[in-house]
Amino acid sequence: MMSFGQRYRVTLFGTSHGPEVGVVLEGLPSGLAVSTEAIQTDLDRRRPVGRRLATKRQEDDRLVVDSGLTDGRTDGHALRAHVANEDVQRGPYDRLRDTPRPGHADFPARHRYGAEADLSGGGIFSGRMTVGLVIAGSVAKQLLGRRGVDVLAYTRAIGPVEGDIDETLPLPELRRRSERTEVGCPDPRAAARMEAAIQEARRDGDSLGGVVEARADGLPVGLGEPFFDSIESEIAHLAFSIPAVKGVEFGAGFRAARMRGSEHNDPFRWNGDRVETVTNHAGGILGGLATGMPLVVRVAVKPTSSIPRPQRTVNLARHTEEEVVVTGRHDPCIVPRAVVVVEAVTATSLLDLGLRGGFLP
């Protein structure tokens, strides 16, 4: 399925090495001002150009809005937007047609769709498809922002290096700190060690994964749908759609399994006329609904599959086992690029739930 969402419907189109990638957004209320500059800024956070540690693939990623905006406002039509794929090198992928790359979708996709499957650049399994997610999320953040909801993601860990992140800091401050580092981590000391770890992996012809954390502040209490469409279910559904995502946890997450109830339960207290909790192990969610405390979600990103060293694979045509060397341009760590994507899917899920529950627009 290339679509997600009930009220805010997001449909991705394009492939990695086709003419374009983009998104169709349905369900946006008419007459809302949408900043295309803000969307472009988010696209720039995703693309590798200008990132010292990232791939050499040169993409301009200029946003083109095809429909749905008139004089900068939503006009009731579906908002269609895309960016062109300009820097396409099919050669390295065509050579790999019969030898599935370890860690990539090649093998099961070829079984499912046959030898005709366009897997050049990863086809629809490519990280490039996340361009549409970023556009959807950027629009969602603008709408949520008008209701006082702020969404931010940042790098929490890369390989073995964990950031020491002060969770009491307001989001604008965390945003400023993250923007100052190449890897998008608000802890500058950890960020320097993360950069070094990525460089070391690159020198070894290897790659690293990491953890992206997203936070949403200012959520109205009660936002979310019970049971199947809980906040966790919706965000996890979208987060697991991001290529290379292998784990999702909320609040204390897997740590909760090792805690006692007396430790894990977040006690309530009054803050003026507002109810808040003393701790936030729940990550801002109880029963699938927002508590009004910061929503905290962490996403585990696996190490980049494409590594320059020889790897074992099979030849599907010759029925032999051989070595494959994956050429082309690849990031030794995609975590810094995944940050804005995780932010986007968090915002997209929250906007859909907000519209469904009547909290927005």
Ligand X SMILES: Cc1cc2nc3c(=O)[nH]c(=O)nc-3n(C[C@H](O)[C@H](O)[C@H](O)COP(=O)(O)O)c2cc1C
Kind of pairing between the strands at 274-277 and 268-271: antiparallel
Vertex 311 angle, CA 47 and 101, to 5°: 55
Give the contact letters, 322-361, x = binds to ligand X (CB under 6 A), - = no.
--------xx--x--xx--x--------------------
Residue 8 CA: distances (Å) to CA of 67, 137, 158, 231:
16, 11, 32, 15
Question: Is 350 strand, coil or helix?
Answer: helix
Shortest distance, CB of residue 137 to ligand X, whole angstroms? 13
Residues whose CB falls within 8 Å of the CB of residue 27, separated by 6 or more in sequence, listed in order: 5, 7, 8, 9, 355
Determine which residue in the list 155, 178, 304, 349 makes contact with ligand X, applying CB under 6 A: 304
Phi, psi of 56 (to 5 degrees): -95, 0
Residue entry with tokens 């290339």: 2
Interface with ligand X, residue 126, by CB under 6 A: yes
9 C-beta neighbours (distance < 10 Å), count: 16
Of 163-171, 240-248, 251-259, 267-275, the window that binds ligand X (rule: CB under 6 A) is 240-248
Residue 40: both structure tokens together: 């472009």
Nearer to ligand X, 209 or 251 (CB): 209
Of 75-83, 166-174, 183-191, 236-244, the window that binds ligand X (rule: CB under 6 A) is 236-244
Determine which residue in the list 8, 125, 154, 250 makes contact with ligand X, applying CB under 6 A: 125
Of 237-245, 288-296, 309-317, 348-356, the window that binds ligand X (rule: CB under 6 A) is 237-245
Q: How many residues bind ligand X (CB under 6 A)?
A: 21
Question: Is 300 strand, coil or helix?
Answer: strand
- Helices marked H in 90-164 — which ranges? 91-94, 106-113, 130-146
Of 214-222, 264-272, 299-307, 317-325, the window that binds ligand X (rule: CB under 6 A) is 299-307
Nearer to ligand X, 21 or 231 (CB): 21
Residue entry with tokens 């905006």: 69
Interface with ligand X, residue 210, by CB under 6 A: no
Determine which residue in the list 63, 79, 105, 299 makes contact with ligand X, applying CB under 6 A: 105
Binding site for ligand X (CB under 6 A): 55, 104-105, 122, 125-127, 130, 242-244, 302, 304-306, 330-331, 334, 337-338, 341
